[in-house]
Amino acid sequence: MKQFLLYTVFANVLVFPWGLSADGRPLGVLLALLLLLAKMAVVAAVVVGIESSFAKLRLFKIPEFMGAGFILSVLSIVTFYLGGK
């Protein structure tokens, strides 16, 4: 529900201010509802695109973390066996 409200405010106020119902007639309200759903679909598609691209960027950093973990584990084993008693 919170995401629905944030998408509605974002779509109607900040990005696409057109398509709001100026009067309370049922046809105008129905048209405004359909336009709201279309605007929210566009905003959701943009959010999904951004979110999936960031997930792919994080995926490319995994080998760096694995390499750093391997180096630290080798260093700890060498220190354990070669360290003074």
Task: Give the whole-angstrom CA distance, residue 20 versus residue 84.
Answer: 76
CA atoms within 13 Å, Cβ hemisphere of 23: 4
Kindly report the pTM of this predicted structure. 0.56
pLDDT tens digits, one per residue of 5-52: 887 787 778 777 777 777 878 888 888 888 888 888 888 898 888 888
> End-to-end CA distance of the chain, in Å?
62
Domain that holds residue 40: 2-60
Question: What's the number of domains the chain is made of?
Answer: 1
82 in any annotated domain = no
pLDDT (0 to 100) of residue 63:
85
10 in any annotated domain = yes
pLDDT (0 to 100) of residue 85:
60
